[in-house]
Chains A and B, each alone.
Chain A
């Protein structure tokens, strides 16, 4: 009875709560008002009339962009922790899956920091708070992948994703990046299988979002590997296989050597063709921006259906995008670069 007849037994209250929180996401008119501001003080005033309320007025620290960023991340963290604390399986497993991607980023951050001989105390505050786990401080001590796994990560939730990533080679910068991509590939495929198993509306909403995420990773890995010594064969091991590009598109991508060939691969898929095509009005949207736009579009679709787990994922991702938008506007305002201020991605 996990489908819509029995969904509300365990998750009805939280779904109502998340939809209420979603109503507080800033709209186009809010962004318009924020973009008109000249200083951060004006932005603070405008944010007070939205759902953020006393976000910036509490405390007496100096109003800077980094303070704004921290406070925004703090709200997402509080809301997520509240949802996670009240949730029952399978929602609790689903929310845990959302945190694993941040955990992977934190692990790689700590390893690269340790390679540069940075102090653990300095690195810990820079980790993403949603992805904390108990053994974080010990991650910097490991020297090889196998050591990292067997000594530290085997007790964390990331252990099942280490199947492909364990190797006896010493950890270096490139190795850390490859490990990140391999972990992420295993994580994404596991998450996709979980959503697929749930079936019903959860599958219909979440699987396209995760397919897009997989394809986006494949494209970004390919584009970023031009000019490095990461060969096509090595790249292929990093592509997640739960996307629409699998298997033919991934084979073509593994053989691509420059941006034009990547664009040719994208031509076969209508959504990705649009993303890679040059726009006529000559706006300066980067590839990353266009991927974010498509992600936002897919996430807003989650709210059109009821009795599924996708609303929780979409809410977190849209809140993050909102945080990115507000920080972008704040940066433009403080640096007086009003020309680029409209490069945020409106959500609703």
Chain B
């Protein structure tokens, strides 16, 4: 009987999470707010309910983090890392490029001289995507085949490799995401300021250079994270 309740609660948990995510992404913001609040309250209630049920029915062992970490393949973590590295970097670069690009086009109507100089801002944003692809290639070259199937035969080194690659992907992905947005917003300001007063561009470019440095930091840390990775038998 209580197993039924718990199976029920798991399904509701996942479905209400899916509800919130879908409502946020697909619906118009004002309509989604109502559904989002209901879904969040729903999820929280089901989490509390599930947690209480697991505790009082002495089924806490079913919430098993160690099982999860050992039963999932290191390849999953590695490939997630590679995917996040390139995709989040590209999101950051794209975000930055469209923010800057639309301002350059708008400002260039009445001040055509800004068109060529401000492409430097676009190049800074693009560099962020290049960091992402370089790291994705570097990380993916470290993935090697291994012949173990159980946690004991796979070995600690392979698990460590998987987690390192995931972590490196997260590092470079998120730092490039925010670097891209940062450079984009500063570049937009640089374009519009340049259109009004030509001497401002070089000064604002310095701010952009500092902004693009943070993407580089992500790459450096990711390289350090994957420096000891050795997958295989």
**A residues engaging B (CB < 8 A)?**
2, 4-5, 8-9, 12-21, 23-24, 306
Cβ of A9: which chain B residues have Cβ within 8 Å of it? Answer: 98, 102
Cβ of A23: which chain B residues have Cβ within 8 Å of it? Answer: 110-111, 195-196
Within 8 A of A (CB), among B140-176: none
Cβ of B90: which chain A residues have Cβ within 8 Å of it? Answer: none
Contact A17 B185 (CB under 8 A): no
Contact A8 B103 (CB under 8 A): yes
Contact A20 B98 (CB under 8 A): no
Q: A18-B106, A19-B192, A20-B111 are in contact. List 6 more A-B contacts (CB 8 A).
A: A12-B103, A12-B105, A13-B106, A14-B106, A17-B107, A23-B195
Contact A16 B181 (CB under 8 A): no
Q: How many residues on chain B are close to A (CB under 8 Å)?
A: 23
- 1/0 per residue, CB under 8 A from A, across B109-120: the answer is 111000000000
Is B51 interfacial (CB 8 A cutoff)? no
Complex Cα spacing A12 to B191, Å: 11
Contact partner, A306, options B29, B95, B188, Cβ 8 Å: B188
Is B43 interfacial (CB 8 A cutoff)? no
Known: A5-B181, A14-B106. A19 touches B196 (CB 8 A): yes
Interface centre among B105, B106, B111, B195 (most CB of A within 10 A): B106
Contact A19 B107 (CB under 8 A): yes
Cβ of B102: which chain A residues have Cβ within 8 Å of it? Answer: 8-9, 12-13, 16
Is B129 interfacial (CB 8 A cutoff)? no
Rounded to whole Å, the gap between the CB of A292 and the closest CB of chain B is 24
Residue of A nearest to B105 (CB): A13
Complex Cα spacing A306 to B196, Å: 14
Is B78 interfacial (CB 8 A cutoff)? no
Interface centre among A12, A14, A18, A23 (most CB of B within 10 A): A12
- 15 CB contacts below 8 A, A to B, read A4-B185, A12-B106, A13-B103, A13-B105, A13-B106, A15-B192, A16-B104, A16-B191, A17-B106, A17-B109, A17-B110, A19-B195, A20-B107, A20-B195, A23-B196
Is B108 interfacial (CB 8 A cutoff)? yes
Known: A306-B188, A306-B189. A16 touches B109 (CB 8 A): yes
Cβ of A13: which chain B residues have Cβ within 8 Å of it? Answer: 102-103, 105-106
Known: A23-B196, A24-B110, A306-B188. A8 touches B105 (CB 8 A): no
Cβ of B82: which chain A residues have Cβ within 8 Å of it? Answer: none
Cβ of A2: which chain B residues have Cβ within 8 Å of it? Answer: 29
Contact B188 A8 (CB under 8 A): yes
Known: A8-B99, A8-B188, A306-B192. A20 touches B181 (CB 8 A): no
**B residues engaging A (CB < 8 A)?**
29, 95, 98-99, 101-111, 181, 185, 188-189, 191-192, 195-196
Complex Cα spacing A338 to B105, Å: 43
Contact A12 B99 (CB under 8 A): yes
Cβ of A24: which chain B residues have Cβ within 8 Å of it? Answer: 110
Rounded to whole Å, the gap between the CB of A236 and the closest CB of chain B is 34
Residue of A nearest to B111 (CB): A20
Residue of B nearest to A14 (CB): B106
Complex Cα spacing A4 to B102, Å: 13
Interface centre among A9, A16, A24 (most CB of B within 10 A): A16
Known: A21-B110, A23-B110, A23-B111. A16 touches B192 (CB 8 A): yes
Cβ of B103: which chain A residues have Cβ within 8 Å of it? Answer: 8, 12-13, 15-16
Cβ of B99: which chain A residues have Cβ within 8 Å of it? Answer: 5, 8, 12
Cβ of A8: which chain B residues have Cβ within 8 Å of it? Answer: 98-99, 102-103, 188
Residue of A nearest to B99 (CB): A8
Residue of B nearest to A20 (CB): B110
Contact A16 B98 (CB under 8 A): no
Residue of B nearest to A23 (CB): B196
Cβ of A12: which chain B residues have Cβ within 8 Å of it? Answer: 98-99, 101-103, 105-106, 188
Complex Cα spacing A306 to B108, Å: 17
Complex Cα spacing A5 to B103, Å: 13
